[in-house]
Structure 1
Amino acid sequence: MEAQVNENDEIKIGIIGESGLDTPIILNDRKECAVCTPFGKPSDIIIEGSIENVKCALLSRSGRLHDIMPSNINYRANIWAMRKLGCTHILVTHTVSSLREIINQGDLVVPHDIIDNTTKRAQTFYDGVVGSPFGVCHLPMYPVFCERARGHLLKAANELELQVHSKGTAITLEGPRYSTIAENNLYRNWGADLISMTLCPEAALAKEAGILYASLGFVTNKECWCANQQIANTHEIIYTFRKQVDKVQKVLINAIRGISQEDWAEDILKAKILVCSNFSNRNQ
């Protein structure tokens, strides 16, 4: 018996990733799209097209030239643009550093939790500024990610027989500098397994936008806590990712195929209800 495929016209998947994730093989029927938002311009032109006959929109988080430092990324504009384009899901990729012996360079991790250690970034759309939505949203952050979308990323990586970790707590640092050994040890004591500079506030904003969000982390190096490994420099980290970017792309393609074969109507509705039920204004 042939497997049934649900043609779900409601599904559109946003992809936000590193510079270099965008290559001609990943999107069909490509077209470039400039999106205006109340929060300014997204990091770059958004490329729309299809993957496995699923509508998709791809954005380079730090710009296609990798010329935007983590704290200067317009996370609100990026997520709002995806929402404006009708994305129901956002699958993201992050390069991350390992804080654990068992998580090695080249591994994939599908994180399940976050620690936000940033201080300079706009954390919400509902900040009272002219042009922002009216009111305040007190958003619950458990679970951080869409568990069902996480499951598809894990399944896709396992089907490709890749080394993938099914859980991980990622701490987001302000950057752009790397951490000291003392800081590494502090983060490890906090329970962090990975270091990112871009996961927050992106994850919270996607949830606040009512979009189903999951992350695929690619481990480029171990941080300086690990005395057994030479400290990697930025060029080596970028080279490590670009050398294996096809592995990340294959996981995304397989996950998108899996997502498209299921009915997400209830999950999409629940994501929107979550925002509405935690929204308040002076008229309530």
Structure 2
Amino acid sequence: MSQWTLGIIGGSGLYQLDGLANVRRERIETPWGEASDLLTFGELHGVPLVFLPRHGQGHRLPPAAIPFRANIAALKQAGCTDILSISACGSLREELPPGHFVMVDQYVDRTEGRERSFFGPGCVAHVPMAKPVCSRLSRLAAEAGEAAGIALTPRGTYLAMEGPQFSTRAESELYRQWGMDVIGMTNMPEARLAREAELPYASIAMVTDYDCWREHTHSVDAALVLEVMRSNTVKVRQLLDRLVLAMSEQARMPGPDGIETVLDTAIITPPSARDPEMVRRLAAIAGRVLG
């Protein structure tokens, strides 16, 4: 029976997981440097988990300084089969109030200057991103949230902004006109890199505020975000408990979206033209296809 190993990337307010068995912490070196922090290994309901705080303990790293490539590579090297991203976000919809959860299924990426790919000169790959999240993991997480009594929307589009400042009101209104549902600073290029590493990825966006488009309410600020995050963190731990319990009761089979084999048709540089040094680095995340 195949075994799940769930990687969990914790966002603002979620810097550790309690209640794990057989806990150990380890630093994993990757060809792209060190991850945001030590990885915490443990078990819940018999399922191996690997936890990584995206911003580091103490929230040391702003969004643009997060070592996204190292984070995904470290989780891949740690043996994760799937990644669940947990992050705070602002709402761009009246029907998504603070405290509400959204299972992201689409992205619009407005980040700037971040390294978006493991591949590059010497070995080129183009992975499909039409469906940027894993439908199975998203469904399991949504079912777990609903079972825990959490107000949750099973689909939504996430606008990834550069930050670290929050939006202007004009920007917030523009994103609403575009049809965006929530806004955050960290899911991109994280989701892109997980796809290149052939890791099924799902994202729980926890609403902390209404961004700044509601003129009659207080505009978003860090203090408001942290206040709501405290209650959201309690909810997400309840969701995780039910999610992992569901995983413990079923074998892990290859997912329905073909994510685990996406590199079979994505690498277009023939072996004879590949840069050996690039191939050596890529072995950490693409060794299955590069040999």
Q: Which residue of 2 aligns with 1:169?
A: 157
The CA deviation string for residues 48-94 of structure 1, in whole angstroms up to 9 with x for no partner, is 00111100100000011101000010000000000001100111101
Distance 2:250 2:2 in 1: 11
Q: Which residue of 2 aligns with 1:88?
A: 81
2:198 is aligned with 1:205: no
Q: Which residue of 1 aligns with 2:91?
A: 98
Identity of aligned residues (%): 31
Distance 2:222 2:175 in 1: 21
Q: Secondary structure at the match of 1:32?
A: strand
Query: Which one is further off, 264-273 or 74-83?
Result: 264-273
- Is the contact made by 1:21 and 1:249 (CA closer than 8 Å) also made in structure 2? no
TM-score, normalised with respect to structure 2: 0.89
- How much does 1:24 deviate? 5.6
Query: Partner amino acid for 2:113?
Result: K
- Is the contact made by 1:110 and 1:168 (CA closer than 8 Å) also made in structure 2? yes
- Is the contact made by 1:19 and 1:65 (CA closer than 8 Å) also made in structure 2? no
Query: Partner amino acid for 2:198?
Result: G
Q: Which residue of 2 aligns with 1:126?
A: 119
Query: Partner amino acid for 1:136?
Result: V
Distance 2:39 2:134 in 1: 23
Q: Which residue of 2 aligns with 1:256?
A: 244
In structure 2, do the counterparts of structure 1 residues 179 and 24 end up closer, same or farther at CA, with 3 Å as the change threshold?
closer
In structure 2, do the counterparts of structure 1 residues 85 and 268 end up closer, same or farther at CA, with 3 Å as the change threshold?
farther
- How much does 1:10 deviate? 2.8
Q: Secondary structure at the match of 1:91?
A: strand
The CA deviation string for residues 241-283 of structure 1, in whole angstroms up to 9 with x for no partner, is 0233111111122112223323333229932321221111144
- How much does 1:142 deviate? 2.0
Counterpart of 1:147 (choices 135, 148, 154) is: 135
Q: Secondary structure at the match of 2:255?
A: helix
Query: Which one is further off, 231-240 or 145-154?
Result: 231-240
- How much does 1:239 deviate? 2.3
Distance 1:269 1:144 in 2: 10
Q: Secondary structure at the match of 1:274?
A: helix
Query: Partner amino acid for 1:260?
Result: S
- Is the contact made by 1:149 and 1:259 (CA closer than 8 Å) also made in structure 2? no
- How much does 1:135 deviate? 1.3
Distance 1:88 1:268 in 2: 14
Q: Which residue of 2 aligns with 1:54?
A: 47
The CA deviation string for residues 136-193 of structure 1, in whole angstroms up to 9 with x for no partner, is 1111112111001000111011111111111110010010001111111111122211
Q: Which residue of 2 aligns with 1:10?
A: 3
Query: Which one is further off, 8-17 or 170-179?
Result: 8-17
In structure 2, do the counterparts of structure 1 residues 31 and 268 end up closer, same or farther at CA, with 3 Å as the change threshold?
farther
The CA deviation string for residues 191-249 of structure 1, in whole angstroms up to 9 with x for no partner, is 21100100100011111101111011110000111123211320221221023311111
Q: Secondary structure at the match of 1:207?
A: helix
Q: Unaligned regions of 5+ residues in structure 1, if any?
A: 1-7, 129-133
Counterpart of 1:183 (choices 162, 171, 179) is: 171
Q: Secondary structure at the match of 2:117?
A: coil
Q: Secondary structure at the match of 1:110?
A: strand
Q: Unaligned regions of 5+ residues in structure 2, if any?
A: 273-291
Structure 1 outlier segments of 4+, above 6 Å: none
2:116 is aligned with 1:113: no
TM-score, normalised with respect to structure 1: 0.91
- Is the contact made by 2:209 and 2:224 (CA closer than 8 Å) also made in structure 1? no
Q: Secondary structure at the match of 2:69?
A: helix
Query: Partner amino acid for 2:144?
Result: A
- Is the contact made by 1:26 and 1:249 (CA closer than 8 Å) also made in structure 2? no
Q: Secondary structure at the match of 1:121?
A: coil
2:59 is aligned with 1:66: yes
Counterpart of 1:275 (choices 263, 272, 276) is: 263
In structure 2, do the counterparts of structure 1 residues 24 and 17 end up closer, same or farther at CA, with 3 Å as the change threshold?
closer
2:190 is aligned with 1:218: no
Query: Partner amino acid for 2:182?
Result: L
Distance 2:173 2:188 in 1: 21
Distance 1:161 1:281 in 2: 49
Q: Secondary structure at the match of 2:73?
A: helix
